Amino acid sequence: MTAVLTKEDIVNWRRSTERITLEDYAKRLGKVVSAEKKETNDLHDIVSKKVVEETVKEVVKKVEEVVETPQKSEKPDIEIKISFKEKLNKREEVVFNYFFKNKKRKVFANEIAKILNLPNDYVYKYIRNLRKKIAGNILVNAENGGYILNI
């Protein structure tokens, strides 16, 4: 059985000037961070657990609303094919679907942040990744802020 980090080891790690993670520090000592995760019933753990569960449920509902919007059964006049250099992950797909739903219209980062339930900083990362994966320059910056999907 491997040894577990003591409180003294953790204090020494915090005091050290090295920039390594606690897990790396434990490996260096030949120990593990903890044998098993202990759940406590203090107020902080109870509140954080409920907040995480609620936010996960809200995000799932928003993603399902965006992804499962019923499409009209009418046949479009033209067919649009968009090719991607790489496969999109789920959040990038949600962002792209929102852009496609609002094509030729300005879309602001805070609109996407509300859908993904993330801060604006993370939304810019998904937009940057989406631009890299879309073949061609069809996702452009709008003049006074925002983004436009030109199709």
Closest of 95, 104, 83, 98 to residue 130, by C-alpha: 95
Residue located via tokens 């609620």: 54
Name the pLDDT band for 35 (thresholds 50, 70, 90).
low
Q: Catalogue the long-range contacts made by 5-13 (C-beta closer than 8 Å, 24 or more residues apart).
A: 5/29, 5/31, 5/32, 5/33, 5/34
pLDDT per position as a tens digit, 69-86: 655 555 555 666 677 778
pLDDT per position as a tens digit, 14-25: 888 888 888 888
The full set of domain ranges for the chain reads: 3-32, 90-149
- Overall average pLDDT of the 102-110 stretch: 88
The whole-number pLDDT of residue 21 equals 86
Q: Under CATH, to which class is 90-149 assigned?
A: mainly alpha
**% of residues, the chain, pLDDT over 70:** 79
